[in-house]
Amino acid sequence: MSIPKLPTLGLLLLFVAILGVFIVQNKYNPKDNPYVSSIIVPHHDLVAKQREATFEKIAPRTQNRHIILIAPNHYDNGADSLQTRSQPFTTQYGSIPIDKRLYDTATAQGVKETASTFEIEHGVKALLSDIAKFYPQTPILPIVIKQNTKLEDLEKLMNTLHKTCKDCLLITSADFSHYQPYQLSELHDKLTIRGLQNIDGNTLDTLAETEPMHQLLATTIWAKLQKTDRFVMDQHTNSTELTKDYYAEGTTHIMGWYEQGKPEQPAPSVSFTVTGPMEFSSPQNGAVKYSPSTAFNALGNRVLWGTDLVLGELEQFPNSRELQIITALKNLKFTHIQTSNSVDALRELGVNRLNNPTIINGYRQSLAIFSGKPSDIKIEDIKKNQADNIIIYASWQGISEKEQQTLSHSWIDSGADLVLGSGDSITKPVELYNNRPVVYSQGKFFTSNKSDQTSLIVTGEFTNNKINLLPLLINQRSYQPILDRSTQSDKQISTMFSELSPYLIDKRGGLLYSLEK
């Protein structure tokens, strides 16, 4: 039986109908390609190819929108905290025009024209070719942010820009952990990634080990304004891993974007960094004079950044040195300090004094710190505490080594997960008792009575089922504590932590131990 031929017009109509069904069934689906408000990429050109790959992936979803580019003012150039420019940029892929409407909005909010900054700022310059290539002829508003920018000014600016351009794409130029060896930078990035996933601008701006020019805070403000709750991490790289030089001063890079959708849930954790005591007393007879205000210049600010808790002990010091000590500690970002001195210094530093207990909340993991003399640390309080994890930070003044061990064991038997002792000027071997570490002495993080000495910083994190420890060796040389990063320092740590050797899981640029809880 032959099939009757359809007229040419009929065939055409049938084709259009079938095509229409196909289009309806395969149309753009916002669940597959949700709206993107902002992109975060690095300016470190070691990862220029990786940065380009992220742009190549996300650019098709973010076309036909004007762009706001924010970057840090690395060199603190210019007089004003927020700066922009009105001249277009020239790149190998063509020119990038400036958005006049956005420029006028920004300058009306106090952002100042400072063309000279944009001639030297690599946080901007590194991204221009990618912007010109993937968003050809798209007008942009470039803004650089200084560390001293008032947060209320930044929030007001982002809100005003959003009212002017609700569909603008924000591109944020940001590198992440700086100067640290591999293991420490990886630990610090965990807190940063959690902050990004939780759109937690406060954590990113106050605790995370990131550039302190507030561009990530601005990004979270924009993400919330655009109701884009999901952070998609496209790439996470570490320069020490890329170069296989794990002890080098590294830079990490997090590339991703905020889009509409259900937020990613971070892994439950609470992280910590604990130093030994700091002794800023007047030098003993014959000791070389030192300057308290420059005591940590060789350490660098960022070794202690990047965890939920940053804890130290400040021993009794002369009131005449208070201002110098505040200057020394200002940029280390201690969150808590144990001290018998006046709380005025802590208030000036924005640091909390330890209570008994002090509670730290990470993400779905909490940490209680019991501290002070053994008589201040009550067994019954440890037993009834409801925190997920417990650290004992004990002062051993006048306590014999035998008593120290007895007390440490009783605290662990009562529920403590980590015991850290202070009071001795030297480090001591670490004990493992009932699968819980006891660090009897970390040594002095800083002392004015001895030019050269060694101490430990104990850093790490508690997760749902793990205690992860990363000990750091600090060598004080000529009154300057320095992070020792070498195979030799790892050998010293390995000797001190020999009882934990079965739990060593990674030794790239540091020794990472992981114990079951």
Q: Cα angle at 160 between 159 and 164, to 5 degrees?
A: 120
Per-residue pLDDT of the chain (517 residues; tens, 9 = 90+): 444 444 455 544 444 444 443 333 334 355 679 999 999 999 999 999 999 999 999 999 999 999 999 999 999 999 999 999 999 999 999 999 999 999 999 999 999 999 999 999 999 999 999 999 999 999 999 999 999 999 999 999 999 999 999 999 999 999 999 999 999 999 999 999 999 999 999 999 999 999 999 999 999 999 999 999 999 999 999 999 999 999 999 999 999 999 999 999 999 999 999 999 999 887 665 555 678 889 999 998 899 999 999 999 998 888 888 888 888 998 999 999 998 776 777 888 889 989 899 999 999 999 999 999 999 999 999 999 999 999 999 999 999 999 999 999 999 999 999 999 998 889 999 999 999 999 999 999 999 888 899 999 999 999 999 999 999 999 999 999 999 999 999 999 999 999 999 999 999 999 999 999 9
For residues 371 and 376, give the distance between their C-alpha atoms in angstroms, rounded to a whole number.
Answer: 7
Long-range CB pairs of 198-201, under 8 A, 24+ apart, other chains included = 198/263, 198/266, 198/363, 199/223, 199/224, 199/229, 199/231, 199/258, 199/263
Q: Where does 36-259 sit in CATH, by number?
A: 3.40.830.10
Over its C-alpha atoms, the chain yields an Rg (Å, rounded) of 27
Give, in words, the CATH class of 269-516. Answer: alpha beta
Q: How far apart are CA 304 and CA 209, in angstroms?
A: 9
User: Rounded to two decimals, what is the model's pTM?
Assistant: 0.92
Q: Where are the domains of the chain?
A: 36-259, 269-516
